[in-house]
Amino acid sequence: MDAAADVARTPADLRRLDPRPEASRDPAQVPITVVSRDQLGDFVDALSASAARAVDTETDFEPRDAETRGLVPKLRVISAATRSPDGVERAWVVDVGRHDLVELATALHEGLRVPDLASDAWNATFDDRVIDTHLMEPAAAAGAAVGSLRWWDAQLADALLHQGLTGFSFFHGLAWAAERYLGLSVEGKATTQFSFGANGPLSDRQIAYAAADAVETLWVSGVLREGLRDAGLEEVCRLEQAARPFLDRMERAGLPFDVQGWEAELAELASRRVEVLTHLAELTGGGQGDLFGAGLEPSWNPDSEQQARDVLNRFASDEVEAWTTKTDGRTRPLAPTDSLGASVLAGIGGELCSALLAYRDLSKTLSTYGHTMAEHLWADGRLHPEYLQVVGTNTGRLASRNPNAQNFTPRLKPYMKPSSGRVFVYSDLSQAELRFATQLAGDDGLRSAFEQGLDIHTATAERMFGVRLDGPAGLAALDRPRYEEFRTKAKRINFGILYGQRGAGLSRGLTDAGVPTSRGEADALIEAYLSAYPGIAHWVDERDRFIGHFAATSLDADWPLTLRLGALWPRTDDARRTLRSQQRRHHSAEEVHEALLAAERAGAMDPGRFAGGPAIGLSEIGVAEVAWALSFAAPVVVRSDGSPLSFSSHTPAGRRQQFTFSVDWVLGEAAAVVGCSAKPRPAEVWQRVLARFDLAPPSGAAGGALRPAVDKVLEQRHLRRAVIDEVGVAMGDADQQFLLRRALHTRVGQMANAYRNAPIQGGVADVMLDAYGRLSEVLTRYPTADAVQTVHDSVVIECDEAEALAIAADVKAALETAMSRWCPDVPTRADTDIRSSLSETSIIEHIG
């Protein structure tokens, strides 16, 4: 049976899967005015009187590599689309080089300053930077009273509608959106855009292209606003839009970096690493000498956990046996299953483990950061990390790249420092997630502890264990080891419970932290915690019961259609990527469909290249089905109408995290069940598939003990589909779908932890967006101050030292006000200080 093609649907049924609406409008029918200097007044009037408007830019190049890093492309064209209150639409194209910059900047500023009406844009950050750099800033320097424009970024709105969907981790382009929301197959940006670098008059094609971009942005934005309203995402979109200017200006400002100081530090670290390697060699029987220095290389590889375990068993046997006795209750050497994480090495202790830890720390710093930090420097000598809204994480937290400013090693932070006379103001929301969880759960005990300003982990330990920790009669004074043990347990649970921590995870975490805890003891600790905080217990139970209910009642997957998507999607995605690499533009579903057919005719569609499984008759597939496959960022389990099987979590602000189910994961789980089964029919299926691909059976006993070996085999993703298809052939559709349902049920259960945490992480992300919007207003009062970094619940402002106290008070107030808005029943606190670098060791003054 070819499960990919065996779908009980007519071609008409499959055509209905097409997610694209039927095109009802043509941008070419919107009248275009090429704005001359004499027509600037008409342009301003149309902008200011519009009920809706969109603005776009065309530039002379698109930055793509290190040579153009930090350069803002030269502005060539501004296009706009306006809709008057009576519904009349018009497109406007401004050839910037044909206008006086001051006149044009003033006109644009006047036309777009209507209160409460932002200009729609697709990737507003790009357009904003281009217009600021090449129009507004030069005009302001010439004395014009102009400033940055107000934008509504449709690209962010589109991303909010897709947040959490499997595979979604990038912004869509305007051409994609026009096809998806308007049914238009349009000319994508990229190849054509390069022609705007010419200095001569605009061609008719360029004018039409620029106008169409603005018109499509206007129309797409209208569809997106309806989608946001239907999905309850209007408020969280408002937060994202308000935060965008702050994040944009933070990226523009950049982070000061003492690269010379860091290079000197690297040299010292490299020298220290040689010393540590030499010490490791000396502790373990010697090593290979270096002809060019005094260092030694150990005869074993410190990067290999297996070799490190062998060395510890041989040269640190006393420490190892003491550790295993304490953790397992029996004396034994380290086994292959024992992790050698940092907490384990610290727990074992001794000179050899200390040297290993030092080696790992030095190696990680040198490899992860090393000289690569200098490669990120711009011409201004500063780092300019990117911050990704919406697409960075499923929860709404920002992500950072080029470089990752949210994951600097402590060794690097002292070199992130401003010049003389400048300082950093650092502010961080204290225990934001735990406070937000307290708000969501309405837990009186935690709220009371926060209201009293208690150390929350100490307060939790006292409630759980019924002991006094603080004060003259407390364990802190009388029995410090027991105090540390109780507080550590409470702290682990306080944070772990928000991430769905269960007994096994708590047991491992506490044991690794030096507090040996059995699984039974960990289960008892969680029960004690939930008894101490009944509000949290009720909230956790509600979240977990939803997952159980969904798994039991809502797994209405259409497996034939799901398998068809699993087979079709890799091929459509491959064709799309191939076309894009050749022509660097968006391609319509029709173009991708034709490319698939051409590849099939040429015999280039090799099934072995794809994880999607069996060959699929592409000649039987229409454009509608290709468009349907292209609407997914990855193949997922779908319902009979072709929509993803999913559930969602929402924050109080309305942020929606969607949970969908990867076809590849479900196939892998189902295939592993077959591979691990000792029953005759599944075992026969497994052996048949292995034989077909000339693979030897994995070693090991029959049954569940085989799972690691089976999983290793199934890393070859095409085997997952092959196993499930063979189940359909040998055992029938009923058994095949039973396996898939069982795998899906398992996957739903595994999402319980993420579902529990989603409204907490997402809620705090919303708080920070609110704070960024407020901080934008704060910074308007301090022209020489710039935001330079944000990490989860914290922000860093660079400013003149003379203004630091005033700015610190305003920043602290902005964060606390934002937190109080979304967490009104729990006291909030932003820990704020003034420091000379990002390092905590450089704090100059704490702000009360």
Q: Is the pLDDT of residue 425 over 50?
A: yes
Residue 2 pLDDT more than 90?
no
Quick: pLDDT tens for 600-609: 777 765 554 4
Give the up-direction half-sphere exposure of residue 580: CA atoms within 13 A in the CB hemisphere: 16
Q: What is the pLDDT of residue 198?
A: 54
Amino acid 7: pLDDT: 46
Q: What's the pLDDT score for residue 211?
A: 97
**Cβ–Cβ under 8 Å, residues 723 and 689:** yes
Tell me the per-residue pLDDT of 699-731, one tens digit each, with 9 for 90 and over: 654 444 478 889 989 999 999 999 999 999 999
Mean pLDDT of the chain: 90
- The pLDDT confidence band at residue 368, using thresholds 50, 70 and 90, is confident
- Checking if the pLDDT of 67 tops 80, the result is no
CB atoms within 10 A of CB 205: 11
- 8 Å CB contact between 434 and 426: no
Backbone angles phi, psi at 788, to 5 degrees: -125, -15
Mean pLDDT for the stretch of residues 209-216: 96
Q: Are 646 and 394 in contact (CB under 8 A)?
A: no
Please give the pLDDT value at position 329: 81
Which of 127-136, 440-449, 703-712 is predicted least confidently?
703-712
CA pair distance 460, 486, nearest whole angstrom: 9
Kindly state the average pLDDT of the residues 50-69: 78
Give 613's pLDDT tier (boundaries 50, 70, 90): low
Residue 552 in this model has a pLDDT that exceeds 70: yes
Contact 176, 122 (CB under 8 A): no
Q: How confident is the model at residue 576, as a pLDDT? A: 93
The answer to whether 824 touches 439, Cβ cutoff 8 Å, is yes
Mean pLDDT along residues 617-629:
83
Best CA proximity match to 212, nearest among 178, 171, 176, 181 = 178
pLDDT of residue 4: 41
**What is residue 471's predicted lDDT score, i.e. its pLDDT?**
85
Q: What is the pLDDT of residue 497?
A: 82
What is the percent of the chain where pLDDT is above 70? 92
Q: Residue 179's pLDDT is what?
A: 94
Question: Which pLDDT score, from 0 to 100, does residue 615 have?
Answer: 57
pTM of the model: 0.91
Quote the pLDDT of residue 706. 79
Amino acid at site 27: P
> Which of 68-77, 271-280, 360-369, 459-468 is the least confident region?
68-77
Q: Is the pLDDT of residue 132 over 70?
A: yes
Range in 83-87, 227-231, 406-410, 698-702 with the lowest mean pLDDT:
698-702
**Closest residue by Cα to residue 82 from 109, 115, 117, 57:** 117
Of 172-186, 187-201, 335-349, 525-539, minimum mean pLDDT range: 187-201
Q: Note the pLDDT tens digit of each residue in 817-848.
A: 999 999 999 999 999 999 999 999 999 999 98
Query: Given pLDDT bands bounded at 50, 70 and 90, which one contains residue 344?
Result: confident
655 or 5: which carries more pLDDT confidence?
655
pLDDT of 477 reads 85
Following CA atoms 813, 819, 824, 825 in sequence, which dihedral angle do they give, to the nearest 10 degrees? -100
Phi-psi region of 792 (alpha: psi -120 to 50; beta: other; left: phi over 0): left
Which of 55-64, 485-494, 746-755 bottoms out in mean pLDDT, i.e. has the lowest?
55-64
- For 813-841, give the secondary structure using H, E and C: HHHHHHHHHHCCCCCCCEEEEEECCCCHH
Q: What is the pLDDT of residue 701?
A: 47
Confidence (pLDDT) at 185: 84
The per-residue pLDDT for 807 is: 98
pLDDT score recorded for residue 604: 64
- Mean pLDDT lowest among 471-485, 567-581, 635-649, 684-698: 471-485
Average pLDDT over residues 15-24: 87
DSSP state of 78: E
Q: Return the minimum-mean-pLDDT range out of 64-68, 300-304, 372-376, 554-558.
A: 64-68
Alpha-carbon separation of residue 50 from 54, 580, 755, 801 (angstroms): 10, 37, 43, 45
Asked if pLDDT for residue 303 goes beyond 50, the answer is yes
Provide the pLDDT for residue 616. Answer: 65
CA distance 696 to 212: 59
Tokens of 236: 């969280």
CA distance 508 to 265: 35
DSSP lists the bridge partners of residue 383 as: 255, 377
- How sure is the predictor about 470, in pLDDT bands with cuts at 50, 70 and 90? confident
Cα 236–Cα 780–Cα 785 angle in degrees, nearest 5: 105
Average pLDDT over residues 734-743: 96
